[in-house]
Amino acid sequence: MSVDHGRKRRLRRDLLEVRSALPPDVLASTGEALARHTLELAELAATGSPRTVAAYVSIGGEPSTRALLDRLRAAGVRVLLPVLLADNDLDWADYEGAERLVRAGRGLLEPAGPRRGPEAVTEADVVLLPGLAVDRTGLRLGRGGGSYDRVLARLERAGARTSLVVLLYDAELLAEVPAEPHDRHVHAAVTPSGVHRFAAPGARTEG
């Protein structure tokens, strides 16, 4: 599969420019809506053993995850947050509240607690992914750093039955995004308007 790398770079640039212009009140209202709709996911509403969610702390113009992290924790969900390693891979640690987040490189906020290892993500029932867009087939456009490509490959190697969900703004649901052979499909996107499911290979469905 070939891809126009210039087109991918331009699309990322355009999407980031739109995000950078969003006012604070839009960011705040987006976070509340994302929290509400994410907690409506069937994978989190299921009864039985406690749920584990791998999430992330939003920065800049990303759809805010702050309210979501606290609501997941209040609901008894174990929340894992990423810790960026020197090689751009991700370690994981438990979210223990906003007061236990520490400032790291690249403007990131990371949990201060014990590291669980890169393989800890395979324990998650749901992985909430950052992204810039997703297309109608569930193909996710990331920021190009490669950290989550490694996470998704790790889940695939482990045979993990994990639901992959990207958090976006409504305008970032696109008809098509440029693809490369290593790109992976997600099962759903959550935006301020609700949950959007995709007929991705191996995807779960509501119900």
Q: Find out whether 142 is annotated in a ligand binding site.
A: yes
- Is 97 within any annotated ligand binding site? no
22 belongs to an annotated ligand binding site: no
Report in angstroms the alpha-carbon separations of 54 from 61, 72, 123, 166: 20, 11, 9, 12
12 labelled binding-site residue: yes
Q: Tell whether residue 73 is among the known ligand binding residues.
A: no
In this structure, what token pair is assigned to residue 97?
């509240």
Q: Hey, what's the torsion of the CAs at 124, 126, 127, 128, to 10 degrees?
A: -140
Is 48 known to sit in a ligand binding site? no
Distance CA 124, CA 43 (A): 11
The verdict on whether residue 197 carries a ligand-binding annotation is no
Q: Is 113 annotated as a binding residue?
A: no
143 is in an annotated binding site: yes
Check the annotation: does 147 bind a ligand. Answer: yes
Q: Could you tell me how many helices (H) and strands (E) the chain has, helices first?
A: 5, 12
Determine if residue 10 is labeled as part of a ligand binding site.
yes
Residue 176 annotated in ligand binding: no
Confirm whether residue 146 is marked as ligand binding: yes
Q: Is 57 labeled as ligand-binding?
A: yes
Binding site per annotation, positions for substrate: 57, 62
Binding site per annotation, positions for ATP: 8-12, 140-148
Binding site per annotation, positions: 8-12, 57, 62, 140-148
